[in-house]
Amino acid sequence: MKFDVYGRLSLEVLHTTRGWEVYRLTDGKHVRADDVIIPADMEAGDIAEYLDDLLHEISRPGDRIVEL
């Protein structure tokens, strides 16, 4: 799953055998985002809301997280 986070950054979230892994997408590269940890038991449909709870401090009024 890919997310546009408040128009400021793009994240890709992958489910692997180790759980959820998060990558920042910059200039066509995937860079592991070790500072964003998603609980392994989280349902895929809840990830956008979880990211909003986790990253809301970088948002501006009216910003949202959009799944791409």
- In percent, how much of the chain has pLDDT > 70? 100
Evaluated on CA atoms 44, 58, 2, 33, the torsion sign reads negative
Distance CA 32, CA 30 (A): 7
Mean pLDDT of 10-27: 95
Distance CA 44, CA 24 (A): 18
Instruction: Look at residue 28 in the predicted model and tell me its pLDDT.
Output: 81
Q: Could you tell me the pTM of the whole model?
A: 0.90
Q: What is the pLDDT of residues 38-68, one digit of tens each?
A: 999 999 999 999 999 999 999 999 999 999 9
Strand partners, 5: 9, 65
